[in-house]
Structure 1
Amino acid sequence: MIAFRSQDRPGGLYLPDVTTDPDLRRRGVSAALLRAVQEASSEFGCRRLYLTSEPENIAAHRTWTRLGTLTSRAIAS
């Protein structure tokens, strides 16, 4: 898992993708990793965590929702 902090908006941490090995899915691995990233990001003063996923990735969206994230849609130009 790779996350980066914005230079323009240092209060935000960006997590472009979370990928879990297919054999380890539905075991809470992604949720545990995201919680760890959330804790670490707050130590750096980040107040927002930005996650991205493909619109059709329903499993990812369910995980994010269970963790209390808000959903925002981006439209590619």
Structure 2
Amino acid sequence: MPHQPTSPHPGIVPPPTRHQLALMIWLAVFPTLTIINLVFGQWLGTLPTVLRTLVLTTVAVPIVIYGLMPHLHRIRIRILTRPALR
């Protein structure tokens, strides 16, 4: 049975651990950057490295923070609060 963090208030899920947060960020960032590179790769390839990085982060960070991370937090809560399978 997976270890579930304890909370002083039953039913309230504590914030993610550093390792959980790192995994969640990786799960959001990797596909986002992959898709951006697939869609805009030719155009991005013509830019100098610093400008290319600026464009990538300007597009990717809002997608990750406002679009994907809230969903990943909800999924994490659902996983941690689901009844144990017997």
Shorter-chain TM-score range: 0.3 to 0.5
Higher helix proportion (structure 1 or 2): 2
TM-score, length-normalised on structure 1?
Answer: 0.33
TM-score, length-normalised on structure 2?
Answer: 0.30
Higher strand proportion (structure 1 or 2): 1
Larger Rg: 2
